[in-house]
Structure 1
């Protein structure tokens, strides 16, 4: 549809130039050629399928390299997976950038079952996105509720840390992620590998920036 509009606009421009400005017939060929070259350039370089407003890319923050929904599914595990259809609907709205609706359906799942671990996580994530990436009191409450239901599961800590990273609070995020990794059980599981890789990535970034916090052992040594 965008290409049709461009062609129509070119034809209208030609018609307006000829009729309104009364260009002599000898210039029509030059004008047509200029418009043709313009269309050729647009064909080679333009991207009419891209949205024109930044707001249209809201869903990007929910489906970026961290893959929030996929990470949630991996970290939650089968035993804590939500059975509510409202979560499926909440995810669908979130992936389209409609976070207010995502919050509403996550809340429905929680009202159906207040012990729905994944529903609390989905609510926390949707609330963060609704606030343009900011960690708010409602989202923090949702993560805390999830953590209270399953204290050993790393998912609440992971998403809390991710929210802190988006606010530039890298050291706090590292400490939270590191603690969650240390509380995890058997090594070699997909969830453990997921957390270990992200802790290592963040640790490398902090070390390169000279912002890596001292380990507990080092702090103890310095206190002696």
Structure 2
């Protein structure tokens, strides 16, 4: 039964990769994963044991469609990078956060000059670390900005990662840079501008709260 299910899983994976138009370069990753699973099953598999539901063991992540649209508008569609984006999105939405980051790492190893892949690697590392902006994530974002210093995408998503880490001052600086790099006739310029206004309002609110705390008389 176990080997039969493994065969069906391999067939289903192949059909899914074909339907999603995933780049052939990723097929080898899936094949390697299946082979490792088969080896692990042959060594440690115990089909006689009662099954245990895996429900709840993975935290499913909801991917904001507006961010996916922004990524697509900034970095394009039907290109080499999109196949990696699709694969990482699918893994992330299923709760496989670490594999999603691993897919993007494979992408930058395949195309180390792609600012888009470095940028999304940074996003996946932030997801993997629970919203924490780790040194590895910072390195990925900064590499994306170095590779495409005139492109607004790396700066925008780096700013988004800073916002998730609650560093809104840094977010504002990065989004100001992204807005300055965005041509006036580009569709997503307004999206960046609206988010920048919201960050300004949040920073102003925090400043008022700090001022109120300082001005409040101390109790004896």
TM-score (norm 2): 0.61
* Aligned counterpart for 1:96 among listed residues 87, 94, 97: 94
Q: Which residue of 1 aligns with 2:22?
A: none
Contact 2:97 2:127 in 1 (8 A): yes
Distance across 2 between alignment mates of 1:134 and 1:199: 21
Q: Which protein has the larger Cα radius of gyration, Structure 1 or Structure 2? A: 1
Rounded Cα–Cα distance in structure 1 between residues aligned with 2:169 and 2:82: 35
Query: How many Å separate the matches in 2 of 1:92 and 1:208?
Result: 37
Which residue in 1 is equivalent to 2:172?
174
Gap change, CA 1:117 and 1:179, over 3 Å in 2? closer
1:194 partner SS: helix
Do the aligned partners of 2:101 and 2:124 also contact (CA within 8 Å) in 1? yes
Match of 2:61 in 1: 59
Instruction: Report the counterpart of residue 146 of structure 2 in structure 1.
Output: 148
Q: Corresponding residue for 1:24?
A: none
SS at match of 1:93: helix
Could you tell me how far 1:114 is from its partner in structure 2? 1.2
CA gap 1:167/1:141 in 2 versus in 1, 3 angstroms: same
**How many angstroms does 1:83 deviate by?**
4.2
2:70 matched residue in structure 1: 71
2:131–2:161 CA contact under 8 A, matched in 1: yes
1:135-179: CA deviation from partner (whole Å, max 9, x where unpaired): 011111111111122112122212221122122211221122112
RMSD: 2.8
Shift of 1:104: 1.5
Contact 1:76–1:118 (CA<8 Å) still a contact in 2? Answer: yes
Q: Gaps (5+ residues) in structure 1?
A: 1-51, 212-224
Shift of 1:191: 2.2
**8 Å contact 2:60–2:92 — kept in the other structure?**
no
Alignment size in residue pairs: 156
State the secondary structure of the residue aligned to 2:207: coil
The answer (yes or no) to whether the contact 2:115–2:154 under 8 Å persists in 1 is: no
Distance in 2, matches of 1:77 and 1:191, equals 12
